[in-house]
A and B are shown apart, each in its own frame.
Chain A
Amino acid sequence: MKITVRLFAKARELAGRERIEVEIPVSGRVADLKRSLVEQWPQMSALAKHLLVAVGTNYADDQTVLSPADEIACFPPVSGG
């Protein structure tokens, strides 16, 4: 299934766009998304093990099951303040 992922900060800079599409297995989990994302967008591989994923407005762990209807965001560690 194809999901749309919103990117921020260095992830957005490396992809060159704010939203990307990533193909993952049906009923794929966050862990699948992280793996597929760097395969399909290799310019982000330097961030691979640091990427955080949010579904809606909450952080999602690797076991969270994703659906194409979810609002999914992906970004490196935060640095506000």
Chain B
Amino acid sequence: MIQLTHDVIDYQSVTESVRSDQAGAVVLFLGTVREMTAGRQTVALEYQAFPQMAETKLAELIEEAKSRWPIQNAAIVHRLGRLELGEISVAVAVSTPHRRDAFAAGQHILERLKEVVPIWKQENWADGTTEWVHPGVNAISQSQPDQAPVQ
């Protein structure tokens, strides 16, 4: 199961979609909207995707993981749009015969998702400013009105 959705993620059905009599282990990861980041307070996150490419890349991540671990089933569901604190942004579920492979494969899928899948989050800070999150790119002044210019 691969899905991008604007609806609340039903993680029970995501989990059920990977369960199997052949799998002794099922691992579910839930990414949730966190309040504090480096001392700043978040009120919401806004997620945007390049949907066609994101779905293609998510399918590739599952195939890549299947080539490395004995995966019975894997599912990835990513939420888009505005998410409030505590809401679930992503669910990854993996089933394998034994537990170590399920943990390793699940973690691998998550790490790769964060590197290659074209989905972006925008911080909505408690001070009213917004900021796109782009790893490796310094915040650009437009959305940081209180930032002092670098001399």
* Chain A interfacial positions (CB closer than 8 Å to B): 6, 8-10, 13-14, 46-47, 50, 54, 56-59, 73, 75-81
Contacts and interface: CB of A to CB of B under 8 A. Distances in A.
Contact of B121 (A13, A57, A80): A80
Contact of A79 (B50, B53, B119, B142): B119
A46 to B, nearest CB: 5
A9 B48 CA distance: 7
B19 interface: no
Contacts of A10: 120, 132, 134, 137, 140
A9 B114 contact: no
B133 interface: yes
B78 A80 contact: yes
Contacts, number: 87
Given A8-B120, A54-B50, A81 B134 contact: no
Contacts of B134: 9-10, 47, 50, 76-77, 79
**Chain B, interface SS category:** mixed
B19 to A, nearest CB: 23
Interface in B102-151: 110, 113-122, 132-137, 140, 142
5 contacts: A54-B53, A57-B52, A73-B53, A78-B115, A80-B47
A52 to B, nearest CB: 8
B49 A80 contact: yes
A78 B140 contact: no
Which of the listed residues B54, B118, B121, B135 has the most CB atoms from chain A within 10 Å of its own CB? B118
A46 B133 CA distance: 14
B31 interface: yes
Which 8 A-B pairs give the minimum distances between C-beta atoms? A80-B119, A9-B120, A10-B132, A79-B133, A76-B134, A57-B56, A57-B53, A81-B114
Given A9-B134, A50-B137, A78 B53 contact: no
